[in-house]
A = this chain, B = another copy of it.
C-alpha cells in the first residue's frame, strides 16, 4: 500500500559527437573508413546542391512546388547509410537526399515535381516505398513491412522517416505501438526540424523531447544532434544492429532545422523570425562535417572542388535528361495505367472516350 515512483526500464539518451564548430568527442567517434567518409560527404553534398538547383528550377517555373531538404542532410544521410540494399526504406516527403542514396534517380525526382506519375515509379527489386504525402501514414506501413520481413525469417530491417509534426498523428502512435508489440525490425527516424509548416514544436507537443515518446511503447528512444552526421550514424548503427539481431524497434529523434520554407508555396516570414534561422544556419551539418574531414585530412581543398564539380555535372545532366524525357511523356491515357492489374471494363470505356476526344482534338 505504498505511494512510490515507478521506475521505467527504458532510458532515453542524448548523443552528440561532432559539434557545430567541427570539434569532435573522440571517445564517441565511430570507426569509419576513408571511403565511407567520402561517400557520406558526397551524398550530403549532392543532396544540398540538388536541393538548391531545384529551388532555381522552381523559381523559373521549370518544376512545380517541392519541399526543400536544406539543413537536414546529416539526419537523412547518416541514417540511410546504415541500410543494405535488401533492407527497406520508407520515406515521408522530405527525404530526397536519402532517396537518392537509395538509388532514386535525380530524373525521377524532377519528373515527380513536374507532375508525372512516372516520378514515383520504383524499379524492380528496389525495396523502397514511394514517398508518402499524407503525414505519418507511412509509419504503419513500416511496421507491416517489418512484420513481413520477420515472418519470412530474413535479417532485413526497415527504416522509416517522418517529421516532428507527424508525431501528433494517430498513425504515428498506432505504428510505433504495433512495432513494439510485434518487435518488428523497424528504425523510426524522426527529423525534428522544429516546424510543421507554421507550427513550432512547442505547439505540436508538450513533451520535452520526441525521443521520450518511445517510453509509451516500451521501446528504446534516443535523441541525437541531427546536424551531426556522426551522431546520427552511430545512433542509426546501434538501432539497425538491434533490429537486425531481433531486438525490435527504436525511435531516433534527430534534432535539426528546416532552414528553408516548408515548400516553395510557403512564406515562413509570416510566422517565424529570421534570427532563429540565423542561429541554425551556423549549425549547418555540411560545413561542420567538412571541417572535420579537413582536420582528418580525408578532404582537401582540391578534392572538395572536384567533388563539387562532379556533383554539379551530375545534376546538370539529370536536368537535361529529365527535360528531354518529359517531352516524350505525358500521354494522358497513361492515367488509366496501373490502377488495377486488369482495368475493369467500364473504365476501359472511359479510356476509349478519352482516346477519342484526344484524337478529335489533335485532328481539330
Residues of A within 8 A of B (CB): 1-6, 8-9, 11-19, 23-25, 28, 168-174, 177-178, 180-181, 183, 203-209, 211-213, 215-219, 223
Contacts and interface: CB of A to CB of B under 8 A. Distances in A.
A211 B7 CA distance: 12
Contacts of A213: 215-216
A235 to B, nearest CB: 10
B13 A1 contact: no
A263 to B, nearest CB: 24
A209 B6 contact: yes
Nearest to A219: B206
A18 B1 CA distance: 7
Contacts of A19: 1
Contact of A12 (B6, B24, B181): B6
A248 to B, nearest CB: 8
A223 to B, nearest CB: 6
Contacts of A218: 205-208
Enumerate the 6 nearest inter-chain pairs by beta-carbon distance, A residue then B residue, closest first.
A170-B170, A173-B173, A206-B218, A1-B25, A216-B216, A180-B206
Given A181-B205, A218-B205, A13 B18 contact: no
A16 B28 contact: no
A364 to B, nearest CB: 43
Counting chain B CB atoms within 10 Å of each CB, which of A16, A171, A205, A209 scores highest?
A205
A171 B23 CA distance: 44
Nearest to A170: B170
Given A168-B174, A205-B217, 19 more contacts: A3-B13, A3-B14, A3-B15, A4-B14, A5-B11, A5-B13, A5-B14, A6-B209, A6-B211, A8-B215, A168-B178, A170-B170, A170-B174, A172-B173, A177-B206, A205-B218, A206-B219, A213-B215, A216-B216
Contact of A216 (B9, B13, B16, B212): B212
A18 to B, nearest CB: 7
A8, A13, A25, A180 interface centre (most CB from chain B within 10 Å) = A8
B12 A5 contact: yes
A359 B168 CA distance: 54
Contacts of A180: 205-207
Contacts of A17: 1
A8 B208 CA distance: 8
Given A206-B181, A216-B216, A219-B206, A23 B4 contact: no
B9 A4 contact: no
Contacts of A211: 6
A13 B4 contact: yes
Given A6-B223, A15-B3, A170-B171, A215 B212 contact: yes
Contacts of A23: 1
A251 to B, nearest CB: 10
Contacts of A177: 168, 205-206
7 contacts: A4-B13, A9-B208, A170-B174, A181-B203, A207-B216, A208-B218, A215-B215
A14 B1 contact: no
Contacts of A178: 168
A312 B236 CA distance: 63
